[in-house]
Structure 1
Amino acid sequence: MSSLFLSVMMMVSAGCSSNSGDVPLVTAGKSAYTIVTPVSPSKAESKAAGIVQEYILQVSGAKLPIMQESNFDGRQAIYVGNTKHTSGPVSIKDDGYYTGVAEQSLYIRGGSGKGVIYGAYHFAEAYMHCRKLPGVQPVVPASRDIKVPAGMKDLSEPDFIYRESYYPASADPLYLEWHGLQRFEDLWGLWGHSYFKILPPKSYFATHPEYYSMVNGKRQPLQLCLSNEEVFKLTVAFFKQAIADNPDAIYWSISPEDGPGGCTCDQCKKADAEEGSQSGSLIRFVNRVAAVFPAQRFTTLAYGYTSKAPGKTRPADNVYVLLSTIDAYRQTPLQEAPSAAGFRKNLETWEKTGGHLFIWDYTTQFTNYLCPFPDYNNLAANLQYFAAHGVRGVFSQGSGDTYGDMAEYNSYLQAALLWNTKADAAAVSADFMKSYYKAAGGPMQQYVQALTAAVKSTNAVLDIYGSPIYSGRDYLSPANLDKYSNILDQAEAAAEKDTAALQRVYRARLPLEYTVLQQSRVYGTEKFGYLVPGNGNAYTVNPKWPARVQRFTAQAKAAGVTELSEGGLSPEAYQQQWQLLLQRPWVGGLAFRAPVTLVNPYTPEYSPMKEKTLTDGLTGDKDFSYNWLFTYGKDMIATVDLGGSKAVSSVQLNFLQDARHNIFLPVKIIIEISGDGKAYTKIGEQAGGLPKEEDYAVAIQHYQFKNNRKPARYIRVTATCAASMPEWRAIPNKLPAVCCDEVVVL
């Protein structure tokens, strides 16, 4: 439900109804009206009556009494809830609401859930002009007179029964109720990836490995074995207790863990083969559990290896499937994006099952929550596409509890369109900018438009796992960053006399500053880098950079940034990382800026500085997307040309291990030297290899090869990539990668 959209519409409605006269609820601060509830009001009806009373009092100073219908014998009433004395439609779909006027009385009714509460807040906004913006206390204007249009009949029903916009504002219950949003904490007794919440491997795997998935012929604690009868019995026992402990929960999740490893034992494999998908054994299992609890709703995930719908088994009536959009890029609507072709096919096949379908969507860059991510213009098209295919609920995952790019705007716009997919997104956007940024609203609207226009004009890719480095070649180029910064300069100037609005503009600028800082780490000694020429051929830290990093950290904390990526650094840890980087001695060496020739290609989305990553004078940290040459599935064979014969004392380089991103140390590293680029002599070899035991710690391994000042012009590095993933990290159709940061020749 968009309060902005609805308020605009109701102002139009009110204007149209004014010819028939208005009904005065309060005149000169006095009222003869009573708020009337049913004889036995529900919790929602009682709360809605209190909301109506509270805002009439705050606006006009008139405190209307609240009375149960059996005790009321007057004529002028505001009926709240399903009273016997009623008006409007016989039924209201889902948690929609109705506000209407008949015979000098106002009626506020709701469907299921919090519908009547949504109606109460709609009344406060549309007819008393109160507002509730993200992170801001309600704005309540004073007026001694409150009127509603005579003959008003307003029915508002949501397009989705589940509507979540996951940003910091979702932690504010008042904001959620005002805008018709929900959150999984209030609806789910068990949420998300839940297998190991039901049967934790720490409790069961050692004694009962058969409860867990068989992968590559071996039982592994990656997923559950859904054909195991004891797994079913333990799952039922778990839910019996969990439901008894939380009887008000609406949904309960039975969903795979976040990763691969679906069971391939004979029975699970047979079920999946019969269904033509690994979701086959999943849906059969969930249906079976759901049959034990017919009064409950169970959810499961169509995600990763379970994305494809089963060919035969239909989800039970009390089973809801959350289909993920995770593999799609975001620069174009999902209905047309080539990267979303698989999602579209899966959506259509799940739709054909006739079951209840929810969507798990993504509207942020998880690797960099503060990176500008202008997918805003695609939201309406995506939600309309979902609704057209029978989708009944949407979890729109943004930056969660931490502040991210345009978090307030994203939350507000999403609220509007999750309630009404056909709402005028441009009007909602413009009204939000004016209401939230006040005098700076115009420039802020220009800023959003400039970002979205640049994505289109540069043919940029919006990847939820991208980086401001990769996008530095297109919509986040230094030239474009300057354009955006100039627009925000105008916004700051416009909001100069409004402290609150100015602080909001400052928050909106944080993503640009973060982008500049991150890009400076890979530009290094070049223009836009954090290093400047020092004595001789050396480089030193730009003297402005320490204060700049410190200022950014303070502003990020003030804005509510708790982590800069999903499970990533806090602002304090980010500052510490920078401090270590700024204290690191710069080592150029003989190979600094030397040309590099590669036998096998690097992966461009993770190696934005291309092959010169190996000789740009910059070493990498634990984030693989910064200053690492990423080579996927093949050996890294790099030849560095020193430009002439040099006395070489040693060759040093680092490799990264990051199993979660499928990056492993080379199986073998060979260093060779040559004077003519044809005949090579090996000066060293070191063995690496894959970890035999599960190990997700991110580590940097340093390697050094001595050469005793033998002359050489060419240095050839061969880093042999493992042929396949380690057994404990086996992922279908995925190969290991190797990451090297810098070839330092001394």
Structure 2
Amino acid sequence: MHRTMTYFLYIMTLLGYGCQSLTGGDIALVSGGKSNYVIVLPADAGKNDQHAAEVLKDYVKRMSGATLNIVKENSLKDKDQPAIYIGHTDHAANINTGKIKPEGFMLATDARDVYIIGGSGKGVVYGVYTLLEQYLGCRKYSQAPATVPVTKDVRVPAQLHDLQEPAFTYRETYYPAAFDNEYLEWHKLHRFEDLWGLWGHSFFKLVPPRTWFAAHPEYFALVKGIRQPTQLCLSNETVFRLVVDSLRKAIAGNPDAMYWSISQEDGGGYCTCDLCRKVDTEEGGPSGSLIRFVNKVAAQFPEQQFTTLSYLYSSKPPLQTKPADNVIIMLSSIDALRQEPLSKTPSAAGFRKNLEAWGAATSRLFVWDYTTQFTNYLAPFPDYPQLKPNLQYFSDHKVSGVFSQGSGDTHSDMAEFNAYVQAKYLWNPKADADKVQDDFLQGYYGKAGKNIRQYIDALASTLQQTHAPLDIYGNPVNNHRDYLSPLAIDKYSQLLDKAEAAAEGQPAHLKRVYAARLPLEYTVLQQARFSGTEPHGYLEANGKEYTVNPRWPERVRKFTARCKEAGVTALAEGGVSPDGYQQEWDSLFARKWISSLAFRAQVSLVNPPPPEFPGKGAQTLTDGLEGGKDFSLNWLYLYGKDLVAVIDLGAAKPVNTVFMHFLQDARHYIFNPSRVTVAVSDDGVHFTDAGEQTLTPLQGEDYDVKNTPVSFRLTGKAVRYIRVTGVCPTEMPVWREAPETKRPAICCDEIYVQ
């Protein structure tokens, strides 16, 4: 909440400027570089009071050169001493604050003195930073040092009465800026490492399979009739005792932690033993055994607060059991697309239903939300218009905490912008979006801010106009026909050209514009890998062959260098570094293009690829491009279905060899086909078998990404049609945990015919 004395003061506060009271006059804290003010702390000042005083002293000196001494109230002998009172001083008792909510604060002045009074926690620290930003003109836009105006006169409004209290009790935006301690305090944010003694997916932190599975598989989930280290068996009494013992030791070692997570592992594979299944049947789903177990553990520690994830198989609340009073549900929005607000997008219908249901079961509800593309951190991800309405929606539906997961400690699309505006909305979801955004863009990019605003608005509006889905596991290649088409990219590029021109002569601002441009350049590079020999590709015709366009190596080098300058450490969740990306391109540049009788030949598929990973459709197999380690780029992806591809060479031609690659990527549920066959035909109707190979399935846990070559020697007889069949495995390997409905996929790249 945000309440001020007058409407005018409210508007000026949102604008972020120091404001003049309508009741007349300002208080001059510093005049002509000198001050007779002191900072007064309570006699029993705590560490947050002391820290707040030091911050204010430091910034006033940076602004004006004046030094304000810090004194305790019980040593203040001169009653006429002008002062800034920090914390719950005796003098502050004259200010009618009422009870301030935890982490809230009051900024108040009378005709002479200033009061900064905080609720519990860091409220008083947040009050000081708010005074600096909203009334003294300082800014902290990113992890870079704060922007501090230099002035010999520092003034605040007289008769100010500004009470602010947080909309959410837990507020985290997960971007590089939030790894800066001052940024957290300035923007009133939290860091999960500081609040949780145990965070996130925690079952195996409490009962590690490495320690227990070999000797006691019964502690772990029964899946498809086999005990597997996918989740815990929550009906096993020894598991309960082990979890309690682990928590007791952890709590003793970290008594100040506010929360403790008791949560499922990422993925599926929940226990289906008789006892667990009985509970889940009574409760209408596997969240039943989870909540009963978490409640049982939480009862052993009534003074502690516990969180548990409502995620994938546990998204739907139990029919009977409600979370205990010291159990907080953290509901995930992972299945929702991001081109519309969560309040109305059809893909979030399940999330909305679960949010309502959990809200009816408990008043203690957090949300784990997502605001980046995990598969391509640097891809343009224009969910910018949804950031405020989503947080407003959470606030309106009893949500008291939000973990807004971005790209973590690596730079990503508009990372500083996202962190900044999310921080503002996490504190006050009703803040004016245009004013918040414009304040950031103009302050962070200087004269280029207007052009950057046009750029992000153009991205968002084109996304809406083209009705493209915005998926946190998407790929900029898949959007080459909609909001990331070559035509759209040209339009965005022109806007960024203007931004660079506007920032010319301002090195800091220009560097930030370059960083904002990285997602667009990344898109161009990725789409060039996809286009290959086509327009906008990185290859060019050289006689009957294709060679690398000589401009591309330098373009890639420039991109990777700017990635490092911008703080990019990974291009995807678990993905390559900029150096690794450069190496991928170097391998492409060094790879000799292979001529094939099937190049650009027509292909018909019995089973088409799914719309989420369309590639070039059937032509993926004859576009002259091999796949790498990214299954979504230059691979024909088939989910749960066989590859049956018929290649038409256009005329009968002698064929000696047919070869291709298949991808093995267990992390994404992609496995080699169990069998590959080749058949040939003169008429496309009657086929003769020409070869068969059985591929050995993985014998044990293996998450390495590998390309498996498969080659067939033919007789050299002239044929027109070649049919390649790859039989998709029917079941997941026992060791690869997955939801019951999940099926294996296969991926094939270029089919060469020689």
TM-score normalised by the chain length of structure 1: 0.97
Q: What is residue 13 of structure 2 aligned with on the other side?
A: 9
What letter is aligned with 2:89? T
Q: Which moved more, 1:209-218 or 1:719-728?
A: 719-728
The residue type equivalent to 1:737 in the other structure is A
CA distance in 2, matches of 1:473, 1:89: 57
The structure 1 residue matched to 2:495, chosen from 487, 497, 516, is: 487
User: Does residue 56 of structure 2 align to residue 52 of structure 1?
Assistant: yes
| Match of residue 683 from structure 2 | 676
Partner AA of 2:666 in structure 1? A
- Per-residue CA deviations over 1:20-62 (Å, capped at 9, x if unaligned) read 2222222223323221111111111111111122222222222
1:228 counterpart = 2:236: yes
Q: Is the 8 A contact 2:17 2:133 kept in 1?
A: no
Q: Displacement of 1:18 after TM fit?
A: 4.2
Q: 1:81 aligns with which of 78, 87, 102?
A: 87
Report the residue type matching 1:667 in the other structure. S
Partner of 1:61: 65
CA distance in 1, matches of 2:182, 2:17: 26
2:690 aligned counterpart, secondary structure = strand
Contact 1:315 1:353 in 2 (8 A): yes
The answer to whether the 8 A contact 1:607-1:613 is kept is: no
State the SS of the aligned residue for 1:500: helix
Instruction: Choose which of 375, 378, 381 in structure 1 pairs with 2:386.
Output: 378
- d(CA) in 2 for partners of 1:428, 1:719: 54
Shift of 1:14: 6.0
CA contact (8 A) 2:27 2:111 kept: no
Any gaps of 5 or more consecutive residues in structure 2? 3-8
Secondary structure of the corresponding residue to residue 433 of structure 1:
helix
Query: What letter is aligned with 1:133?
Result: Y
Report if aligned partners of 1:88, 1:153 keep a CA contact under 8 Å in 2.
Answer: no
Q: Paired residue for 1:530?
A: 538
Report the CA distance between 1:430 and its aligned residue.
1.2
- Could you tell me which of 600, 605, 609 is aligned with 2:612? 605
Q: Pick one of 161, 169, 187 that aligns with 1:153.
A: 161
CA distance in 1 between counterparts of 2:559 and 2:17 reads 46
Q: What is the one-letter code of the residue matched to 2:713?
A: K
Q: 166, 169, 189: which is aligned to 2:174? A: 166
Identify the residue that residue 425 of structure 2 maps to in structure 1.
417
Partner-residue secondary structure (3-state), 1:292: coil
Q: Does 1:211 pair with 2:219? A: yes
Aligned-CA RMSD value: 1.6
Q: Is the 8 A contact 2:20 2:26 kept in 1?
A: no
The SS at the match of 2:562 is helix
**Bigger shift: 141-150 or 586-595?**
141-150
Q: For 1:25 and 1:505, how far apart are their aligned partners in 2?
A: 37
Residue in structure 2 matched with residue 70 of structure 1 by the alignment: 74
Q: 1:656 & 1:462 partners in 2: Cα distance? A: 26
Q: Deviations over 1:383-442 (max 9, x none)?
A: 111111100011110111000001011111111111110111111111111111101011
Residue of structure 2 equivalent to 1:32: 36
2:24 aligns with: 20
Aligned match for 1:239, one of 238, 247, 251: 247
* Cα deviation 1:559-593 (Å, max 9, x = unaligned): 10000000110111111111111111111210000
Residues 281-680 of structure 1: pairs in structure 2 closer than 5 A: 281-535=289-543, 537-680=544-687
**The residue matched to 2:714 in structure 1 has which SS?**
strand
Give 2:5's aligned residue.
Answer: none
Q: Secondary structure at the match of 2:576?
A: coil
**Alignment check: 8 A CA contact 2:604 2:647 kept:** yes
Structure 2 equivalent of residue 111 of structure 1: 119
Compared CA separation, residues 164 and 12, structure 1 to 2 (3 A): closer
For 1:133, the equivalent position in structure 2 comes to 141
What SS does the corresponding residue of 1:408 show, helix, strand or coil?
A: helix
With structure 2 as the length reference, what TM-score do the two structures score?
0.96
Q: CA deviation at 1:6?
A: 8.1
Written as runs of structure 1 = structure 2, the 5 A alignment for 1:177-196 is 177-196=185-204
Matched AA of 2:684: G
1:640/1:714 contact within 8 Å kept = yes
Q: Structure 1 residues 6, 258: closer, same or farther in 2, change over 3 A? A: farther
Q: Structure 2: which amino acid aligns with 1:58?
A: R
* Per-residue deviation, residues 475-518 of structure 1 (Å, max 9, x unmatched): 01111111111100000001001111000000011111111111
Percent identity of equivalent pairs: 55
State how far apart, in whole Å, the 2-side matches of 1:594 and 1:585 are.
Answer: 20
CA distances 1:133-172 after superposition (whole Å, capped 9, x unpaired): 1032112222222222221100011110111110000110
- Matched-pair contact (CA < 8 Å) for 1:309–1:350: yes
Where 2:388 maps in the other structure, the secondary structure is: helix
Give the 3-state SS of the residue equivalent to 2:746 in structure 1.
strand
Match of 1:279 in 2: 287
Q: Return the letter of the residue paired with 1:487.
A: L
Check whether the contact 1:165–1:181 (CA below 8 A) recurs between aligned residues. Answer: yes
Residue 222 of structure 2 aligns with an amino acid whose one-letter code is: M
Aligned partner of 1:251 in structure 2 is 259
Partner SS, residue 180 of structure 1: coil
**Rounded Cα–Cα distance in structure 2 between residues aligned with 1:510 and 1:131:** 25
SS at match of 1:78: strand
Q: Deviations over 1:414-471 (max 9, x none)?
A: 1111111011111111111111110101111100100001100111110000001101
Structure 1: where are the runs of 5+ without partners?
Answer: none
Note if contact 2:531-2:538 (Cα within 8 Å) is conserved in structure 1: yes
Answer whether contact 1:36 1:79 (CA < 8 A) is retained.
Answer: yes
* Structure 2 counterpart SS, 1:226: coil
Which residue pairs with 1:720 in the alignment? 727
Contact 2:17 2:135 in 1 (8 A): no
Distance (Å, rounded) in 2 between the aligned partners of 1:61 and 1:7:
30
Instruction: Indicate if the aligned counterparts of 2:171 and 2:426 stay in contact, CA closer than 8 A.
Output: yes
Q: Name the SS for the 1:469 alignment partner.
A: helix
Secondary structure of 1:340's counterpart equals helix
Q: 1:516-551 deviations in whole A, cap 9, x for unaligned?
A: 11111110100011100013x110111111111111
The reply on whether 1:124 has 2:132 as its aligned counterpart is yes
The structure-2 alpha-carbon separation of the partners of 1:15 and 1:156, relative to structure 1 and needing over 3 Å to count, comes to same
**Residue correspondences, number:** 743
